[in-house]
Amino acid sequence: MNQYFAWDDRLGISLPTLYQEWELYSEDVRTFIVTQWEIIRGTIPDRVFAFERIINVKQAELFEEEDFELSCTINSDIAELASRINDLHIWYRTNQEIEHKRHS
């Protein structure tokens, strides 16, 4: 995307990649970063919803699956998707930290 964000394949969004303390960036750069993050952050609920849909499908598969090993694989897939959702929720809340720093 640019030097301040890097694509994360696991989460399906770009994440901030800041290489110095927030206060060391110029006001223009901080404004740019916050603006870009707000755009990216706005896509997080859609990403969560997409992962939840996949989890629902996998839970239905798990309910019908009789093979133990395959059930374990499906359960592992569900756990990984849930972990992604958790990480997305953490990143979604990151805005509060950036906004606080911006107004400090």
- Res. 97: pLDDT tops 70: no
pLDDT at 98: 56
What confidence tens digit (pLDDT) does each residue in 30-85 have?
999 999 999 999 999 999 999 999 999 999 999 999 999 999 999 999 999 999 99
The 10 Å Cβ neighbour count of residue 6 is 11
Q: The pTM is what?
A: 0.85
**Burial of residue 18, with CB atoms counted within 10 A of its CB: 0-12 exposed, 13-18 middle, 19 or more buried:** middle
Taking the C-alpha atoms of residue 46 and residue 80, their distance in angstroms, rounded to an integer, is 18
- Res. 13: pLDDT tops 70: yes
pLDDT at 31: 92
Spatial contact of 82 and 6, defined as CB atoms under 8 Å apart: no
